[in-house]
Amino acid sequence: MSDYLLKLYITGKSPRTDRAIANMRQICERELDNQYNLIIIDVLEQPELAEQAKIIATPTLIKELPPPLRRVIGDLSDKEKVLLGLDIVPNQS
């Protein structure tokens, strides 16, 4: 099974971005069995990366690997919605 490459685009430091990061770390730890790389990108600090990825809103989560590329934009608190949006089958353990 391929490792997951996930990029989470956020805007600055705020309670909302803290929640998005915490939610994604929790989902990854529970559902991806340590087979993931989660990269946090602050669009204020790295606007060129946001432009290249065509980020129009934050938070935006992009699954680059394994293909196909998938995006989830907005609230990341609903684990089932995030997994469905990323085309990831929930861990059954």
Q: Is 47 left (phi over 0), alpha (psi -120 to 50) or beta?
A: alpha
Query: What pTM does this model have?
Result: 0.91
Question: 4-86 has which CATH code?
Answer: 3.40.30.10
Tokens of 79: 């684990």
Confidence (pLDDT) at 29: 92
As beta bridge partners, residue 39 has 7
Q: What is the pLDDT of residues 32-91, one digit of tens each?
A: 988 999 999 999 999 999 999 999 999 999 999 999 999 999 989 999 999 999 998 887
Cα 15 to Cα 20, 59, 82, 85, distances in angstroms: 9, 12, 19, 23
Domain ranges of the chain: 4-86
Are the CB atoms for 27 and 90 separated by under 8 Å?
no
